[in-house]
Structure 1
Amino acid sequence: MSTVIAPSVPRAELSRDAFVDRALAIADTEGIAAVTVRRIAQEFGVTPMALYWHIRSKEELLDAMGDRFFAGLEPLPVGDDWVEQLRAAVAALVASLRRHPGAAHLAAPRVMYCDAGRDLAEQTLATLRAAGFSVAQAADVARHAMQTAVMLVTNEAGAEPHVAAEMRQALLDTKRSALKALSADRYPHLIEAADAMTDCEDVDGYYDFGVDMFVAGARATLGPTA
């Protein structure tokens, strides 16, 4: 395990935002298990007690990481096209999660616990209610929108965000080899799709397709008038 910053860090650079930035970077390269208060302190060349002025526990650090995904999200576009508004909401969330896929799963539990997350939920629910969804339907669509965004990012073929960067290729090679070694009589399509299921040639296309599928499903739920 290597540190990134030399031990002498000016106190002015010790801030909650700086600690969260470093935690997100560690999660992306080494996996979320590597994120601890002690590790962050080591990265900044200070004792863990120095962090407690800003972040008191690992749980608080993880919460702050989850909150970060909602910060800076633009308001939904104004207009009467709820389909485009919903697509914009999910696409914006996906774009935010993609910046730090190693911690993307931390976003969903925090959506109702930070102002930016609540703002996004409120705008999405307002859009869906105006479109004609019932309260229960709107809540379901909003909930699934959040889960879909996280799922797309955490399950991107070839990304393996839960694994340390240096181990990802070996894991992918193992998965691909295991699929190709299956019985051709019993699993011909799995073998055929082995490369496609363990790698993503068109990453942007993968996300666009996933968002479009979700929005199409929501539209179908509302009925032919949508």
Structure 2
Amino acid sequence: MNQPGVTIKNGWQIGYLTLLGIHLLAIFFNWDTLRFVTKPLLMVWLLVYFISITVPGAPFRKLVIAALFFSWLGDVFLMQPASSFFMAGLASFLLAQLLYTWIFLNARKRCNTTGRWNPVMLISILVYIILLYAWLFRTLPNELRLPVLLYAIAIGSMLASAFHVYAKPFENPALLLICGAALFVLSDSLLAINQFIQPFPLAGVGIMLTYGLAQLFIVKSISRIS
């Protein structure tokens, strides 16, 4: 009896992955018009998909919607060439990361009430963030050094909190959430390296592939929390 609903939900997910694939092709072949059309549609499509797999009143539903909205806003800002728009995009994604961190910390209270924080994982994330920021520091414009530091702390906190949401981190849906958070960190790392250190081939494809999958994995995992 639930088959039509399941088909519709799967259709939205397939549609999102198809849209992401089209966007990646547009980046690869430098189809600028198509790229500028598909990029802002990604988070809109994912938002509709998330709404389709959750019910009103579901835990963290409004917060995830807000995080996707700020992600969409960040995408739109980062499409603009002016440096002021980069700062606006960074601020938008900072708010998205703070929302995701808040969601994960509160989800932990539901799913992992007796779990402990893993010191090895926390130290590993901290070391990665420190090393990446140290690498970026010399090439960052002065006005971006503090904002990028704040963002690095925020996304590191998001990854750390994602790892501790579920009591068994290497089983679904925990693994899905951790992979999503890790891909988000990887995407932003690639963006920062390409933007401030050294442009590299297929950077745009790598950045958007990891980002698109990261957001999908995160919302799918959070949608399963009851």
Q: TM-score, normalised by structure 2?
A: 0.31
Structure with more helix by fraction: 2
Of structures 1 and 2, the larger Rg is shown by 1
Q: TM-score, normalised by structure 1?
A: 0.31
